[in-house]
Structure 1
Amino acid sequence: MTTTTPSRGRRRAPTRMERAAGKAAALQKPRVILALLLLLALTCVMLLDGYLRAEVGGDQRVRTGASASDVPDEVLDGGPILTFRGGQATTVSVPDKTIALTFDDGPNPTWTPKVLDILEEYDVPGTFFVVGSMVSRYPDIVKDLVDQGNEVGIHTFTHVDLSYQSDARVTREIEQTQLALAGAAGITTTLFRAPYSSETDAIDNYSWPVYEKLGQDGYTSVFIDTDSDDWKRPGVSNIVKWATPEDDEGASVLFHDAGGERSQTIEALPKYIEKMKAKGYTFTTVSGVMAEQQQQQQPAAGPGSAGRAGSGDALQAAHHEATGATLYEGKALIAAVAVAEWAVPALSVGLTVVGVAVLGRFGMMLLLARRHHRQRNRRRFSWGQPVTRPVSVIVPAYNEKECIANTLGSLARSTHPIEIIVVDDGSTDGTSEIAREAAASLGMSNVRVVHQENAGKPAALNNGVRHASHDIVVMMDGDTVFEPDTVRQLVQPFADPEVGAVAGNAKVGNRNTIIGAWQHIEYVMGFNLDRRMYDLLRCMPTIPGAIGAFRREAVLQVGGMSEDTLAEDTDITIALHRAGWRVVYQEHARAWTEAPGSLKQLWSQRYRWSYGTMQALWKHRGSLTDKGPSGRFGRVGMPLVVVFQIVTPVFAPLIDVFTVYSMVFVDFTAALLAWLAVLGVQLLCAAYAFRLDREKYRYLLMMPLQQLAYRQMMYLVLIHSCITALTGGRLRWQKLKRTGEVGTPAGTG
């Protein structure tokens, strides 16, 4: 064993990355918060969209046959307009030969404009009882409706039966609809019609308290005398017949401009108006009826009139101009709904594309991994003449006192001739001394300990390459242990002169915890299955820092390990591709590494990996235009990495949010089955990856929980990295705390 200590001079100046690190570190927490806020905002948008579509909440009566013993007889036997002026329940009837034409459930973008065109053509006003969620989605229609001289009333926000709701729900339904009207048309209204109501004699003990409460708040409740039953689509003639009052009586008549297919209503409405005008009827609004009652001295409009009773102001007397907070809150609601109306469909299309891409990737991984396995495990497969010459193993170490002895102990059992270069990167915990003692106790004469002032992992690796005696260098982490046959397996591909680097098979050693088991699944499926695919496509993006081998010539040709990025392993891998070297995967060369043991350390590690990968891809963006064989990574590998390691995972959390959205607002069973189907596909891929790596399947029992918890964290890490990249932040190498619990491997599983 020998020790090399470079001469000590003036302490080196900090690198550009290190100078920026302090500033970047202060920005990391706000970026995490921003990432969470973005996901929360999108979640809120989808919740708003679901609420607007009235897919939640009681939409039908839950009790029937209730008594009406609490309802005054004069109300049950009275007219269709119920007021509480002076605190006393009073009903108003529609005068003879007068029609208060009312429409429920709108606005609808298809049918309401057609109704408005008919009313305008015949100069007939209508009273529209609108659903607040529909108003917020189609505000322009409501504005046109009001500008045309029609009157609006509240039909709740989600078309829920208020008879069986709490007082808070009743208030919310009314106030939200008022905000929607304020934002859409700049008005509020005092008219109200309850969903599923009919004539006053149908008021029962459950609904009466609602009318009393709203009456005390100044609302006028409107019922009907005559129902066209157009929602049943009974035919045009029946609609006209059923909407016609008997014996020239006045009536509050119900039609629908939404809530279903209304072509029969559109066809029947002109015929009905012509018929009633011919019988001498005039048309007015609910407010017009109430104004006429107060002005009984005015003569009713006779036959041949325009068919409209009352002045414009009287016809819209229930309207009040929205001002102050109500107006601005209403406009904010309309704006938020506009965002939701645009964002949710756009995201749905985008996520469909992402979903197809993800499933396509799974299929491609399975097919190519199977082909790779068969190709590499054929009896006659060979890289060429066996590589038996010695190689140099470089172990960069910074404060690895817990692990370095285990690392050297595993290398002492190597079946391939090696020299070992431990590069102590300015450790402060006695790593160098522990390495020397371990080498001495193991009788290892092939170990050199090189000490340098702290300069970072890339500098330590480059220092090791300079001290290497052999033309092949194996690089590993200071917390990693090799199996006896690892180095021999790892260097065999160098029998092919085109191979410049080899990626090994990194395994999680501390897999007996929940976090370790999750990472074990990720390593076997997400990393090694991917590497088989990339190897076959000849566009391997990364040689893992835990286990990789390089031709020394190739490393020197591309300038060694670069400090430009935090992913020096990805950086040099892409550089080797661009220099014309082939990079391959050797699944039989296994290394056991200590994965992060806490969520905080895991976040730090994956954040560095994600951000470093983005840096490396940006640095080598010129590969997209490289020509010839050296441009294969740019043509194939770069798009695959960008799509499947950055773009797709960034949008993946929304798939889960949409799944919850579908379960709550659309179809719980169908959404759950879809989620289980995707989980089944992932389990299939994972099981196949475990089979190829000869791993025990019991760890797959953790996969459903991994999808619900661990995967979400990885998504947030990637979003955090993207925000950092977009805002120009930089961050330093983050040292993970090691425990040294990964000892000499006893085998797989």
Structure 2
Amino acid sequence: MTTVRRGRGAARATAPRLHWLLLSLMLVVLAVVLLVNGLVMAQFGADHRVAAPTDAHTVPDVVRAGRPIIDLRHGTARTLHVPDGTVVLTFDDGPDAVWTPRILEVLERHRVPATFFVVGNLAAQRPDLVRRIHDAGGELGIHTFTHPDLAYVPAWRRELELSQTQLVVAGAAGVTSTLVRPPYSSAAEAIDDISWPSVRDLGRTGYVTVLTTHDTQDWSRPGADEIVRRAIPEDGAGGVILMHDAGGDRSQTVEALDRLIPELRARGYRFGTVGDVVGEPVTVPADPSERLRGDTLLILVRGATAATSVLAVLVGVTGALVISRLLLLVVLARRHARQGSSWGRSAPVRPPVTEPVSVIVPAYNEEACVARTVRSLVASDHPVEVIVVDDGSTDATAEVVRGLGLPGVTVFRRPNGGKPAALNTGIAQAQHDLIVMMDGDTVFARDTVRRLVQPFADPGVGAVAGNAKVANRSGVLGAWQHIEYVVGFAIDRRAYDVLECIPTVPGAVGAFRRRALWGAGGVSSDTLAEDTDLTMAISRAGWRIVYEPEAVARTEVPTDLGQLWRQRYRWSYGTIQSMWKHRRAVLEPGRAGRFGRRGILHLALFQVALPLLAPLMDVFLIYGLLFLDPVRTVLGWLALVLSQLVAGAYACRLDGESMRGLWLLPLQQLVYRQLMYAVVIQSIVTALVGIRLRWQKLRRIGEGADARDAPDVVRAGR
């Protein structure tokens, strides 16, 4: 992992621009894959018109004369009828993996040809069936790519629907077709002023439109007898018979076809094709260019289908992990709330800790906040000495503290060296064995220090994590962070305490034994998350680390997205560095190994790997709304949000917080969460490429609560 240089002399971070370009490219590729798969997998409903027929003033009489085959390729309308005693069997909406082969088997057994009007997205999924239709002597026609009513789509989409289906046919069977049947069409008499322009354009594009004279309406499953009855022409007249080989259960169609063919032969009918009626080949070999483009499209479709299947599995796994983790953490948090922290459950009754405590406040340009911080410490109901370490501030931080004139407060000034160096200076100057560390923008409640050090009654406890709360909650960004903090401390840290794998004692409110600090080598500057690094080092040394939810501190959080990004980038990158630094804990015995296998592996899965996969859930939300069942998609998303709301409500109850801000949680899932994912992604890339980061200082505005206004924690949910 990268060693981080800090201070003014540190190398300025070079933003890894290339990875954002690569990420954008990956997102574009993913969007194309999902779009292709969405079009291929698009579903369509029952065979009916989008709107009722209207007038037909613009339709030539020759077109509405009833002849089912309309040829407008040469500028004049030519319509053709099927000769008496001849029928043309046609099948729409396929191919289908189940029913098309069964229909082909019936046709092959009776040695009867047929014309199949294939839907491009289905044909792209089963090119083998398209090839089988062609090899069996059947004709292939175009039935669009996604089965829209061509009368209600713009010209560019009509052209796309036809051309893409042609490419599929060319790639699958090596031929192109001049036959087309518009979806939702019926007999020639039904052409009206709305549908006529699209039929006319089909002719101008070079297609022969094939309608029907006998619609069996087998899609409605009226029974095999009724399908046969509807298919037989009257008085020996010829006709085009419409049936379906896809779109639902076609068992009645298969049964009816097997009975219809012998019945028609018994009545003296012969079976022909559309090409026989037109008098010229209607399918011709595709030229090399069309064949190449068709093969490419099929490869793209197969790749998109396979990739989407993998992504769907990943989304399912991600969703299951998120919900399972949330349920587990809530159960463990409930156990913690009922039984108390791990030190309280296992330790015998001991007298309270009353020995004095050294409180270290590292400060760098904290002029706006430090007075409130120091006043809150002096007002503590536990004996403390306050050590403020001014780490080379360029403002009046030290002067503000000295000007307070408060007893028991000492200010040390040192050249800027970063927070770890400031903390180590304070530790060296501290007079007491119990040391509390906090940030210069944080305010303690009157009882915070007392409650924070009580777990040290157990000699095996080396560090205690307090409960940090957001002081500046105004605005949407502050409210989102408030929800995040409440859930993170009331649920996550309680669960970590039960599992004895707390990964971080927060820099805003934490307590340590001096022996544990020096045993861990002090506060290291190896990472950007010195608090996480220190916590892991203390755990590996065999000390217990516990959580005390009633030791409350209120801290300022970033007030704009830029500051938030910098803060979370530092946290995320520092956490990754700490995990890498302490990775051997996973294999170590005893308490260190337990922490490694529970804590570090949990961080690796849920704070590194999962954020890389979690954006897929949002992408699939859009995908589901566009191409799948939008109702089920929305319900699935609402279920996830509801689980987050329930967890948030329980966290608020445990922490004695108002639930009024939870209404922002759904919006947080759509906006704030994506920002956090982007931070993790950039942190991972930064770690991989070894970019050096300087220490980043956030701008403070002094919105933290004054010490006199910092209430004791509300005890609730116990």
**Normalised TM-score (structure 2):** 0.89
AA matched with 2:681: I
Q: Which stretch shifts more, 273-282 or 147-156?
A: 273-282
Mapped contact 1:240–1:269 kept (Cα < 8 A): yes
Q: Show the counterpart of 2:606.
A: 644
1:319 aligns with 2:281: no
Alignment of structure 1 residues 272-287 onto 2, 5 Å: 272-274=260-262, 276=264, 282-287=270-275
Q: Show the counterpart of 2:395.
A: 430
CA apart distance, 1:15: 5.7
Mapped contact 1:482–1:744 kept (Cα < 8 A): no
Alignment of structure 1 residues 38-57 onto 2, 5 Å: 38-39=26-27, 41-55=29-43
Q: Show the counterpart of 1:177.
A: 165
1:105 aligns with 2:93: yes
1:260 aligns with 2:248: yes
Q: Show the counterpart of 1:6.
A: none
Q: Show the counterpart of 2:197.
A: 209
CA apart distance, 1:193: 0.3
Per-residue Cα deviation, 1:168-214 (whole angstroms, up to 9, x for no partner): 44333323323433444454432110112222222222211111111
CA apart distance, 1:89: 0.5
Q: Residue 412 of structure 2: SS of its match in structure 1?
A: strand
Q: Show the counterpart of 2:322.
A: 358
1:568 aligns with 2:510: no
Per-residue Cα deviation, 1:112-166 (whole angstroms, up to 9, x for no partner): 2333344445554332111122123223322333344432221122212222333
Q: Show the counterpart of 1:190.
A: 178
Per-residue Cα deviation, 1:402-454 (whole angstroms, up to 9, x for no partner): 33333333323233333333333343x135xx3244234323454131403x4
> Structure 1 residues 374 and 135, CA, compared in 2 at 3 Å: closer, same or farther?
same
CA apart distance, 1:524: 0.7
Mapped contact 2:339–2:345 kept (Cα < 8 A): no
Q: Show the counterpart of 2:593.
A: 631
Alignment of structure 1 residues 52-201 onto 2, 5 Å: 52-55=40-43, 60-201=48-189
CA distance in 1 between partners of 2:330 and 2:659 (Å): 17
Q: Residue 100 of structure 1: SS of its match in structure 2?
A: strand
> Structure 1 residues 747 and 610, CA, compared in 2 at 3 Å: closer, same or farther?
same
CA distance in 2 between partners of 1:85 and 1:715 (Å): 56
Per-residue Cα deviation, 1:335-354 (whole angstroms, up to 9, x for no partner): 44334423434333333333
Alignment of structure 1 residues 216-365 onto 2, 5 Å: 216-274=204-262, 276=264, 282-291=270-279, 314=281, 317-319=282-284, 321-324=286-289, 330-365=294-329
CA distance in 1 between partners of 2:325 and 2:337 (Å): 18
1:675 aligns with 2:637: yes
Q: Show the counterpart of 2:374.
A: 408
Mapped contact 1:103–1:255 kept (Cα < 8 A): yes
CA distance in 2 between partners of 1:247 and 1:584 (Å): 92
1:737 aligns with 2:699: yes
CA distance in 1 between partners of 2:679 and 2:109 (Å): 60
Q: 1:554 aligns with which of 516, 524, 542?
A: 516
Mapped contact 2:392–2:414 kept (Cα < 8 A): yes
AA matched with 2:15: A
> Structure 1 residues 615 and 72, CA, compared in 2 at 3 Å: closer, same or farther?
same
Aligned-pair identity in percent equals: 51
Q: Which stretch shifts more, 611-620 or 436-445?
A: 436-445
Q: Show the counterpart of 2:547.
A: 585
CA distance in 2 between partners of 1:448 and 1:328 (Å): 78
> Structure 1 residues 180 and 520, CA, compared in 2 at 3 Å: closer, same or farther?
same
CA distance in 1 between partners of 2:316 and 2:621 (Å): 12
CA apart distance, 1:516: 0.9
Q: 1:374 aligns with which of 326, 335, 338?
A: 338
Q: Residue 703 of structure 2: SS of its match in structure 1?
A: coil
CA apart distance, 1:542: 1.0
> Structure 1 residues 726 and 268, CA, compared in 2 at 3 Å: closer, same or farther?
farther
Mapped contact 2:362–2:440 kept (Cα < 8 A): yes
Mapped contact 1:100–1:289 kept (Cα < 8 A): no
CA distance in 1 between partners of 2:11 and 2:402 (Å): 38
Count, aligned residues: 707
Mapped contact 2:424–2:522 kept (Cα < 8 A): yes
1:480 aligns with 2:442: yes
CA distance in 1 between partners of 2:227 and 2:638 (Å): 48
Q: Show the counterpart of 2:353.
A: 387
Q: Which stretch shifts more, 414-423 or 128-137?
A: 414-423
Mapped contact 1:409–1:442 kept (Cα < 8 A): no
Per-residue Cα deviation, 1:350-387 (whole angstroms, up to 9, x for no partner): 33333333333333333322322233399999873222
> Structure 1 residues 239 and 105, CA, compared in 2 at 3 Å: closer, same or farther?
same
1:25 aligns with 2:25: no
Q: Show the counterpart of 1:5.
A: none
Q: Show the counterpart of 2:405.
A: 442
CA distance in 2 between partners of 1:241 and 1:445 (Å): 103
1:686 aligns with 2:675: no
CA distance in 2 between partners of 1:132 and 1:259 (Å): 14
> Structure 1 residues 372 and 148, CA, compared in 2 at 3 Å: closer, same or farther?
same
CA distance in 2 between partners of 1:173 and 1:234 (Å): 31
Gaps of 5+ in 2: none
AA matched with 2:502: M
1:420 aligns with 2:382: no
Gaps of 5+ in 1: 1-13, 293-313
AA matched with 1:435: A
Mapped contact 2:71–2:208 kept (Cα < 8 A): yes
Mapped contact 2:42–2:628 kept (Cα < 8 A): no
Alignment of structure 1 residues 706-721 onto 2, 5 Å: 706-721=668-683
> Structure 1 residues 120 and 234, CA, compared in 2 at 3 Å: closer, same or farther?
same
CA apart distance, 1:714: 1.8
Mapped contact 2:5–2:11 kept (Cα < 8 A): no
> Structure 1 residues 21 and 56, CA, compared in 2 at 3 Å: closer, same or farther?
farther
Q: Which stretch shifts more, 476-485 or 281-290?
A: 281-290
Q: Residue 512 of structure 2: SS of its match in structure 1?
A: strand
Q: Show the counterpart of 2:662.
A: 700
Mapped contact 2:461–2:545 kept (Cα < 8 A): yes
Mapped contact 2:386–2:408 kept (Cα < 8 A): no
Q: Show the counterpart of 1:302.
A: none
**Normalised TM-score (structure 1):** 0.86
Q: Which stretch shifts more, 471-480 or 359-368?
A: 359-368
> Structure 1 residues 597 and 195, CA, compared in 2 at 3 Å: closer, same or farther?
same
AA matched with 2:257: L
